[in-house]
């Protein structure tokens, strides 16, 4: 229960990697704030489930991270957090010239600007408590590019730059700021891309996974949400006190290629 007494906010945590991170931190004793923009009874039920399963406080806060004021107010509403995991993300697969302007704006807002907003509000809370962890879920696409993913790749590269600046601004304080860069992980975000990619490559789902996705990932295996949350948990531990400003790959060798 190494996180007993700590409070964590995980953005975009009603699904996939975010919910797995919330569950892992709750299992280690952290109180949890879940977030998404959907605000359904199911979202609130996820918080109740976490609270009952791990005997921690778990609350859901709705905030649409496309909107700067909502990203800032999300953190303000918590009153205090020790751990901020910027995880919310979306994807849209298209060439640069076909990418709708509003998709570009939404993706940059959710995966880059919102990270700036939540960090700006959370840092004074962490300084006051004299401890803090900020973990930004970037991607292998924060380190290398793929075609058809302009906004995603730009936002994920950008968030690594922001991570480094925040790490330098807090380097002498007991606060660390790191980015985690996963490879392909089976979640709704990836599932939604499959039909477009199947059409683009004229392949079945299995052919697409074997020949295109796993072509990028030398281990030939998906990363699991559980493995990513294990890395996040490690970054919250005392052993990780001197890890700051890093972009840590968890991608089956993708970025070693
Ligand atoms: P997911 O679709 O399962 O979850 C995304 C979460 O973000 C959901 O809770 C959703 O409600 C939330 N969200 C979306 N738009 C939002 C908005 N406007 N405001 C607030 N919340 C919003 O996706 P996932 O695969 O678990 O992705 C989580 C993170 O991991 C993302 O940043 C993604 O880019 C990153 N990532 C995923 C993969 C992968 O292969 N799945 C690989 C590398 C990085």
Cβ(32)–Cβ(46) below 8 Å: no
Specify the number of domains making up the chain: 1
CATH number (domain holding residue 47): 3.40.50.720
Greater confidence, 9 or 190? 9
* Domain-embedded: residue 24: yes
Backbone φ and ψ for 16, nearest 5 degrees, come out as: 45, -130
Q: What is the β-pairing status of strands 31-36 and 58-62? A: parallel
List the residue whose alpha carbon is closest to atom 41 of ligand 1.
185
CA of 89 to the centre of ligand 1 (A): 4
Please work out whether the CB of residue 143 comes within 6 Å of at least one atom of ligand 1.
Answer: no
Over residues 8-18, mean pLDDT: 98
pLDDT in tens, 158-194: 999 999 999 999 999 999 999 999 999 999 989 998 9
Closest ligand 1 atom to Cα of 189: 2
Please work out whether the CB of residue 14 comes within 6 Å of at least one atom of ligand 1.
Answer: yes
Alpha carbon separation from 130 to 127, 191, 245 (Å, rounded): 5, 40, 18
Residues 168, 125: Cα–Cα separation, whole Å: 18
pLDDT in tens, 25-35: 999 999 999 99
Asked if residue 129 has pLDDT above 90, the reply is: yes
pLDDT-derived band at 1 (thresholds 50, 70, 90) equals confident
* Domain-embedded: residue 159: yes
* Domain-embedded: residue 146: yes
CA of 18 to the centre of ligand 1 (A): 7
Please work out whether the CB of residue 209 comes within 6 Å of at least one atom of ligand 1.
Answer: no
CA of 75 to the centre of ligand 1 (A): 18
* Domain-embedded: residue 252: yes
Per cent of the chain over pLDDT 70 is 100
DSSP for 71-131, written as a single string: HHHHHHHHS--SEEEE-------B-TTTS-HHHHHHHHIIIIIHHHHHHHHHHHHHHHHT-
Please work out whether the CB of residue 150 comes within 6 Å of at least one atom of ligand 1.
Answer: no
CA of 203 to the centre of ligand 1 (A): 25
Determine the pLDDT at residue 158. Answer: 99
Determine the pLDDT at residue 104. Answer: 98
First to last CA, the chain: 38
* Domain-embedded: residue 151: yes
* Domain-embedded: residue 80: yes
Alpha carbon separation from 22 to 28, 31, 34, 69, 226 (Å, rounded): 10, 9, 7, 24, 11
Active-site residue numbers? 152
* Domain-embedded: residue 193: no
Helix axes 16-27, 225-235, angle to 10 degrees: 50
User: Nearest Cα to 138, choosing from 186, 196, 104, 88?
Assistant: 88
User: Which residues form the domain of 177?
Assistant: 7-185+223-256
């Amino acid at each position: 229960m190494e996180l007993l007494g700590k409070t964590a906010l995980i953005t975009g945590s009603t699904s996939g990697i975010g919910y797995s991170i919330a569950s892992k931190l709750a299992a280690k004793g952290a109180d949890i704030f879940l977030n998404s923009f959907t605000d359904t009874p199911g979202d609130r039920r996820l918080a109740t489930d976490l609270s009952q399963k791990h005997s921690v406080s778990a609350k859901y806060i709705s905030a649409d991270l496309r909107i700067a004021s909502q990203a800032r107010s999300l953190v303000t509403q918590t009153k205090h957090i020790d751990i901020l995991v910027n995880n919310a993300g979306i994807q849209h697969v298209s060439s640069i010239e076909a990418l709708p302007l509003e998709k570009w704006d939404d993706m940059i807002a959710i995966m880059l600007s919102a990270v700036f907003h939540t960090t700006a509000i959370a840092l004074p809370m962490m300084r006051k408590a004299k401890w803090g962890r900020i973990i930004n879920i970037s991607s292998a696409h924060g380190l290398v590019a793929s075609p058809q993913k302009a906004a995603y790749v730009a936002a994920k590269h950008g968030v690594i730059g922001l991570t480094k600046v925040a790490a330098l601004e807090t380097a002498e304080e007991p606060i660390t700021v790191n980015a985690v860069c996963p490879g392909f992980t089976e979640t709704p975000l990836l599932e939604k891309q499959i039909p477009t990619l199947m059409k683009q490559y004229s392949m079945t789902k299995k052919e697409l996974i074997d020949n295109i996705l796993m072509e990028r990932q030398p281990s030939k295996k998906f990363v699991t949400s559980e493995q990513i949350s294990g890395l996040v948990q490690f970054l919250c531990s005392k052993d990780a006190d001197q890890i700051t400003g890093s972009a840590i790959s968890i991608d089956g060798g993708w970025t070693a290629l």
